[in-house]
Structure 1
Amino acid sequence: MTELLNLKAILIVALIFIPLERLLPLHAGQKVLRKHWINDVVYLLFNGIPIKLGLLVLIGSLMIGIRAVIPTEVEEYVQAQPIWLQAIEAILVADLGFYLAHRTFHAVPFLWKFHAIHHSIEEMDWLAAHRVHPVDQILTMTASLLPVLALGFAGPAVAIYAIVYQAQSLLIHSNTRIGFGPLKWLLASPQFHHWHHANERQAYDKNFAGQLPLWDALLGTLHMPERMPKAYGCDDPVPSLYHQQLAYPIRSPGRGGVSGPPQPSGDVRP
């Protein structure tokens, strides 16, 4: 039954984003069945299993220790607030955790190898949002969810955060020219996130937030010019198939050449 529901959700999402990307394309010449689309379908269908298991084990283990040190009064205070306020707070807290984890994946050479899989995307669309190495996703989502769960936010508030995160993740990767107007400084948009994936020197290590550009503005990593990027991807030698990409972080050479996050010299493109 769960798998059936997942397939229905995938179909609904596809029926929303495929027409949207045809009606309001950012890159009009990009095909629906663009390069490596089959590989990203494999991510969409199968990547969720190891990610869910990894999150269950890691967050479950960490919560045992956290529950022992956080006073119950904290949870009582948080849950005494209305759900709408908890949801806003949960998004703020979770996205700060996401920002810090994401920035760390860019800064630490070994972690960058996992994150380079996501940055190997050369044609942005809703489907490409799923191309994430399980280790990358498990650690990043743990950094997002753990403080939210540790503080005791109510289930409905956490669910609202999860729904908003999933929807926004698909939208910001999509091949659409949807503009947010003045709200682009408040909510992550395709313009904001496309620059994170840009293979242009001035865009390296920018726009780490998943939902709120606020964190990038406060921490000095915001980059959102009026024009859109001309090229996406990274120069790392990331293979093109799912099973090869899973093994790439372990089998790839050490930092140097085009491997690893960008260097101050400007020789590497993330």
Structure 2
Amino acid sequence: MIIAMIFIPLERLLPLDADQKVLRKHWLNDAIYLFFNGILIKLGVLVLVGLLMIAIRFVVPEGLTGVVQAQPIWLQAVEVILVADTGFYLAHRVFHAVPFLWKFHAIHHSIEEMDWLAAHRVHPVDQIVTMTASLLPVYALGFSGTAIAVYALVYQGQSLLIHSNTRIRFGPLKWVLASPQFHHWHHANERQAYDKNFAGQLPFIDALAGTLYMPERMPRVYGTDEPVPPLYHQQLAYPLKQLAGRVPAGELSEEPGDART
């Protein structure tokens, strides 16, 4: 409710698409993601990171973790954001490059009307693997819980903002901090924008890797041409059914195949 009380008025005051409704198409489906997906993701990340930490804790020198923990909290927080977003970038790029993984990530790219609520439409497998890639090096290096909490708050707030239906621009900071302009282009269903802007928070990572695309205009069309079913339970099962080659035709939208797959 707090998030809705912030972002719904913000999207009404500074809309990118003024004609888009608050209760836009598939809003209820994305609300289900908001209320139920977090439980699956948190449990999955807890188990996966926990198991991997058992395996790698003997590899990271105690001296290194001691140096990390001796730093001031503000510096640790900055480093956590940098380390975590590098992991996010790499995992995100892999989900676009590997056909098996793209089936999971296509759920997120099926968003056709961008807003704060749409940020939650992410398949649990996609989010669990991506968050593990982000957080595992952070925990392995021994960053403090306070610094990680700062990262978590910044990540959550920025994730909602960059998906939001707002015309907020960051000026020169757009090259440093992810903005709606930056991330909307990642969701654009326009050929020149395919496989661009993978970072979650730091666009300069894309600039360094050669995957940055951020023209002044905003995208005209979002989503993917790949037919993705519209309902939550169908979307959870969709990647596995796709891989098995048995998606019932009635579950799919009436759209042509995606050129990216």
Residue 267 of structure 1 and its aligned partner are, at CA, apart by: 6.6
Per-residue CA deviation, residues 136-189 of structure 1 (Å, 9 max, x unaligned), is: 000000000000010000110000011000000000000000010000000000
* In 1: Cα distance, 2:258 partner to 2:233 partner: 28
Partner of 1:262: none
Distance 1:234 1:136 in 2: 17
| Alpha-carbon offset, residue 253 of structure 1 | 5.2
What is the distance in 1 between the residues matched to 2:37 and 2:15? 27
Point out 4+ residue stretches in structure 1 off by more than 6 angstroms.
none
Would you say 1:97 and 2:108 are equivalent positions? no
Other-structure match for 1:177 = 167
Task: Kindly provide the CA deviation profile for residues 16-48 of structure 1, in whole angstroms up to 9, marking residues without a partner as x.
Answer: 000000000000100000000000000000001
Say whether 1:268 aligns with 2:249: no
Q: Does 1:24 pair with 2:14?
A: yes
User: AA paired with 1:52?
Assistant: K
- Deviation, 1:237, is 1.2
Instruction: Indicate the percent of aligned positions where both proteins have the same amino acid.
Output: 79
TM-score, length of structure 1 as denominator length:
0.91
Aligned counterparts of 2:56 and 2:191: Cα–Cα separation in 1: 41
The structure 1 residue matched to 2:139, chosen from 145, 149, 160, is 149
**CA separation in 1, counterparts of 2:243 and 2:59?**
41
The separation in 2 between residues aligned to 1:125 and 1:73, in whole angstroms, is: 45
What is the Cα deviation at residue 14 of structure 1?
0.4
CA distance in 1, matches of 2:201, 2:57: 27
Supply the AA of the counterpart residue of 1:105: F
Q: Does 1:113 align with 2:103?
A: yes
**Shift of residue 66 of structure 1?**
1.2
- Gaps spanning 5+ residues in structure 1: where? 1-10, 256-265
CA distance in 2, matches of 1:81, 1:34: 46
Identify unmatched segments of 5+ residues in structure 2: 246-256
1:120-131 alignment to 2 at 5 Å? 120-131=110-121
Q: Residue 18 of structure 1 aligns to a residue in which SS?
A: helix
| Secondary structure of 2:111's aligned partner | coil
Match of 2:219 among 201, 221, 229: 229
- In the alignment, is residue 192 of structure 1 matched against residue 207 of structure 2? no
User: Partners of 1:254 and 1:230 in 2: how far apart?
Assistant: 34
**TM-score, length of structure 2 as denominator length:** 0.94
Count of aligned pairs: 250
**Coordinate RMSD, CA, aligned:** 1.3
From 57, 64, 67, the equivalent of 1:77 is 67
Maintained 8 Å contact 1:200/1:269: no
Counterpart Cα distance in 1 of 2:204 and 2:151: 17
